[in-house]
Structure 1
Amino acid sequence: MASYDSDSSSDGDELQTNVTLGYATEESTGDEISHIGGQPTWLDSNTTPSAALARCKACNGYMSLLLQLHADLQQHFPEDERRLFVWCCRKKQCSKKSGSVRAFREVKKAKFTTKPQAQPLPANSIVSQPKVDLGSQLFGGSSTPTTNTNRNPFSSDPSPPQSNGNPFSLSDLSSLAAKPPQKPAQSESPSPPTTTFADKLKISSPTAAITTTTANPSESWPPESSFPLPFRHSYLDAEAEYLDAANPPAAGPSNPNPLITNLDEDDTPSSARAEKDLYESSHDKTFSHFTKILSQNPEQILRYEFAGRPLLYSSTDAVAAHFVLPGHSHVRTSGPIKGIPRCGICGSARVFECQLVPHLIYELEKDDEEAMKIDGVGMEWGTIIVGTCSKNCGDEENRKVVFQEEWVGVQWEEEVRRKG
């Protein structure tokens, strides 16, 4: 879970987190690259990934695209072109099996002009450093503004972020995916939010580039007809995340996950409450926190915070073990993800980058009878967490496009028991 800004909205009822939320929209935002469903597109149409990256590890069949994200990180890797792809197998027999959801990163390192050899500088000389265009978008086009014809949907609307004036109450994850949410009401603010997705990430520490090599794809990318029927296509828009600050969260060593305090407060009599406390598992508390956070911005399909912390659906499964300290239910501080494989190209640690949340299921499957015929019951995951190389490594020497599979942690939908 993200940390919180000290600044709140104008009415003092909301706090802004470090998370940027993605929303599905039928209308183009000016960025034709970032989208859910549909078919993938590549940085270079002549350079495609190995088809093996889009095969389910359970059945070896081709998967369907969940998300394509134009993931340029202008504040971290300002010269690199970068995209993320998340796929899933829609066969019922592969549901909840390892390898039925996969992700890979596409990156092209910047091709710099030839640099002259360094010359001794005269005393008292001043060297001007190239400026990083913080106004460039994360989910937009090329890092070169003059050649980018795609606008970032995450910066297309200068109006204040949406806040949910009528949050819904969720009893289980099924209702998250199945029910169309209420559109959040707008909250007024005297100053507009940051105008780019990269600005919203608040990333200021650049990461050094590294030298790597890559191998040629092992399996040619097949024609679209080889893949299952794609999910419905929608564009992406984004807003900064604002949460209710009526009871300001106290973040700190004893409570690093904001809003986790008072999650269990209710009007249950003390005797029944004691029994309920004995019954409740840490999973129940984590799930309750998960649904309460999502309910404040119910149309979100994507949560983005590079090198941040995910919002866990459960604190008791194998995925949670990478983020939760033993004996605790809160997510540990941001940084490298413990215990997962390091980057397959450069060996660097991976960090949390983004996660998909259940309203995506609704957006992909609504009004799509064919989608339901394929998988029978629809997708059954609680959240999909993506961890990527912290160095954004690629082909430094030749500046060629590189595709690298990244880590995916899926927390599958579980029935959350409630005591009546």
Structure 2
Amino acid sequence: MDSDAKGDSMEELKGLRITPLDDDDDDGEEEELEDEVDEDDEEEEDEAVILGFLEKPENSWSLLRQQFPSKAGGIPAWLDPDNLPSKKSSRCDICGNPLQFVLQVYAPLVEKETTFHRTLFVFMCISMKCLSQDQHEQWKRHPEKQSRSVKVFRCQLPRANPFYSSEAPKGNATDKPLTPGAPLCAWCGTWKGNEFCTDCKIAQYCSSEHKAMHSSSGHKLECQQLSLSSNSSDPNACNSGIQQIRKRKVASRSLWPEFEMKNEHESEYDTDMSEDDRCTDNSLVPSNKIDYSMKSLEKYFEEDGEKNSNAVFQRQISKAPEQVLRYCRSANSKPLWPMSSGRPSKADIPRCNHCGSPLCFEFQILPQLLYFFGVKDDNESLDWATIAVYTCESSCEGVGYREEFAWVQLAPPTNFPSLPL
């Protein structure tokens, strides 16, 4: 694939913006073109897969919520900045700790005015023990209560909303949201800060655990300095200390590194590519390491007796080994399962717990993501074969965030090979 074609595709799919923020005239032209497509072509287009790739962001502002980004790691760019998931929703149901942000996918839908903006957020507990338990819990059927360590939230907004301009973002640092949003936890920067620091009364936290972590990591000293400033005769010193705390970046150093997600149609990789084309200048993983990793995966699954399922999986993934996400929301779309075992039946996928509609497959997360996050390859580290996300078929309406469903397929006990460093 030549660089010009790749650039055009990247621009078209930037942020998985399936519904671009275009003028009405442009929309009309697109509708006329769609009318000329025959039914067979429409069916093929519906089942087209979009691949997600990670890149280091060139500008920090490109991942802010007013840019409607698709991203992985760091902190979420909440779509609705006020009505965030809270209480038990934000915690692992197994160990009770606050969940960590994994990734978000900006995926608006054309068929409804209320889904003009639409983003899906994935969170998980960083404990492999909880993830292993999660795999057992997901087999429970209604009305049994499932305890999950992987959670998905959907948020959607109409074009006219109180948080963003109805005009398309300019794509630069001048774009601003209409509201500041709810205060977030000073430690994780992820969840709503409902609990204040008892000393400075400024820093806010999502949980007592994160409050204690921040205090032990140095915030206690900040509080003492702020207390000294407040007792001084110079009011500017106190104000300066308050502003310093409010502007401080997320304190936690255990968050996963932040990446911007770029996207391309899988069909772009259906033609044979040269070695130079496969590994572009902005590639994060050298091609020789990718090749080694794919061979390791093949040997791993051959030894495990999963040849048939993995043959299809390997054939597709090897076209673009750096992909971390596969997106395809259509009536006939299904996950690309790396193993025959651990797949859900139709009865295992619940209905929407808000409106009762069926859930449909929308995207899956591949284990390559762990390489980019720098997760170690050992027995206690996070590991999965794939995580498939199912969402409400009607994308039902509601204020704030609606929880969707994730199906976790874990690799067998032997470690799933990761891309070598």
Q: TM-score range by the shorter chain?
A: 0.5 to 0.7
Superposed displacement of residue 286, structure 1: 0.7
| Distance in 1 separating the partners of 2:369 and 2:362 | 17
- Structure 2 distance, partners of 1:311, 1:348, is 23
Task: Identify if the C-alpha distance between structure 1 residues 381 and 95 changes in structure 2 by more than 3 Å, giving closer, same or farther.
Answer: same
**Contact 2:390/2:404 (8 A) holds in 1:** yes
- Cα distance between partner residues in 2 of 1:360 and 1:379: 11
1:241-280 counterparts in 2 under 5 A? 241-242=266-267, 243-244=269-270
* The 10-residue stretch of structure 1 (303-312 or 338-347) with the greater mean CA deviation from structure 2: 338-347
**Alpha carbons of structure 1 residues 388 and 293: separation in structure 2 relative to 1, 3 Å:** same
SS, match of residue 291 in structure 1: helix
Look up the equivalent residue of 1:76 and give its one-letter code.
E
Whole-Å separation in 2 of the counterparts to 1:292 and 1:103: 28
User: Does residue 83 of structure 1 match 2:108?
Assistant: no
Query: Which structure is richer in relative contact order (CA contacts within 8 A, separation 6 or more)?
Result: 1
Secondary structure at the aligned position of 2:350 is classed as: coil
Does structure 1 residue 95 correspond to structure 2 residue 118? no
Q: CA deviation at 1:230?
A: 1.2
- Asked if 1:231 is matched to 2:256, the reply is yes
The one of 23, 44, 58 equivalent to 2:94 is: 58
Paired position in structure 2 for 1:297: 320
The superposition leaves residues 38-70 of structure 1 with CA deviations (integer Å, 9 ceiling, x where unpaired) of: 112322323222242221121111121111222
Where 2:386 maps in the other structure, the secondary structure is strand
What code does the residue aligned with 1:288 have?
A: A
2:390 maps to 1:392: no
Q: Distance in 1 between matches of 2:363 and 2:388?
A: 6
Question: Which of 389, 395, 402 does residue 404 from structure 1 map onto?
Answer: 402
Other-structure match for 2:295 = none
Contact 1:31 1:150 in 2 (8 A): no
Asked if the contact 2:83–2:401 (Cα under 8 Å) also holds between the matched residues in 1, the reply is no
Is this contact kept in 1: 2:352–2:359, CA < 8 A?
yes
Partners of 1:82 and 1:43 in 2: CA distance: 8
Query: Identity rate of aligned residues, in percent?
Result: 28
Residues 230, 31 of structure 1: alpha-carbon distance in 2 compared, 3 angstrom cutoff: closer
* Correspondence 1:2-401 to 2 at 5 A: 18-28=48-58, 30=62, 32=64, 33-73=69-109, 75-80=110-115, 81-98=117-134, 99-109=148-158, 144=166, 146-150=167-171, 223=205, 225=210, 229-242=254-267, 243-244=269-270, 281=305, 283-307=306-330, 308-317=333-342, 320-322=343-345, 338-365=347-374, 372=376, 377-395=380-398, 401=399
Higher helix proportion (structure 1 or 2):
2
Distance in 1 between the 2:75 and 2:192 partners?
21
Is the CA contact 1:315–1:321 (under 8 Å) kept in the aligned structure 2? no
2:91, 2:97 within 8 Å by CA — same for their partners in 1? Answer: yes
Pair 101,46 (structure 1): closer, same or farther in 2 beyond 3 Å: closer
The AA in structure 2 aligned to 1:309 is K
Q: Which runs of 5+ in 1 are unaligned?
A: 8-14, 113-140, 152-216, 247-276, 323-336, 366-370, 396-400
CA distance in 2, matches of 1:56, 1:406: 15
Asked whether the equivalents of residues 327 and 364 of structure 2 are also in contact (C-alpha less than 8 Å), the reply is yes
CA contact (8 A) 1:101 1:408 kept: yes
Q: CA deviation at 1:392?
A: 1.0
RMSD between aligned residues = 3.8
* 1:150 Cα deviation after fit: 4.7
SS state of the match for residue 315, structure 2? helix
CA positional deviation for 1:380: 1.0
Q: Partner letter of residue 341 of structure 1?
A: P
Cα distance between partner residues in 2 of 1:142 and 1:304: 26
Most deviating of 232-241 and 218-227: 218-227
Give aligned pairs, total.
252
Matched residue of 1:58: which SS? coil
For 1:49 and 1:280, locate their aligned partners in 2 and report how far apart those are by CA, in whole Å: 40
CA distance in 2, matches of 1:310, 1:142: 33
C-alpha displacement at 1:288, in angstroms?
2.8
SS of structure 2 residue aligned to 1:300: coil
Paired letter, 2:320: N
